[in-house]
Amino acid sequence: MGPDQHPKYNKCDPYYEIRQIRNRYCIFRPRTGHNRMNHHMYTKFKIGSTDQCPCAAGAMTAEHLLQNVHCTKVPEKTLLDQPTSLQNKLFGCLDDLRRTATFARETQATI
């Protein structure tokens, strides 16, 4: 089944304009909540010793990683021009999605 046959397929979603598969992962996994972040792996599969982020400021979730940039070693302004909501980072325009994917790759986050 192709994506256009899925009942919730939205042909206007800029996600489908992203060509590189690794960039798609950076958007798809946080969108769905099925990812390799500590919170999901620990609460869903009991893998690891904790759901906490290595920064120790909270559970490692998509929201924590993308909204609390203090837990990464890359300054937010180097990759994200201005503060952006999580909704825009994951469901925004193509530029928003590209910035999010770049940010995730540059921080070497486990997504």
Range of the domain at 23: 14-106
pLDDT of 108 reads 83
pTM for this one? 0.81
pLDDT of residue 86: 92
- The answer to whether residue 9 sits within a structural domain is no
71 falls within a domain: yes
State the chain's mean pLDDT as an integer. 86
Orientation angle between helical segments 21-32 and 94-106, nearest 10 degrees: 100
Mean pLDDT for 35-49 is 93
| Cα separations in angstroms, 109 against 10, 26, 79 | 28, 9, 14
Q: Tell whether 7 is covered by a domain.
A: no
Total count of domains within the chain: 1
Q: What does the pLDDT look like over 45-91, one tens digit per residue?
A: 999 999 998 888 899 999 998 888 666 666 555 555 567 899 999 99
Please check whether residue 3 lies inside any domain of the structure: no
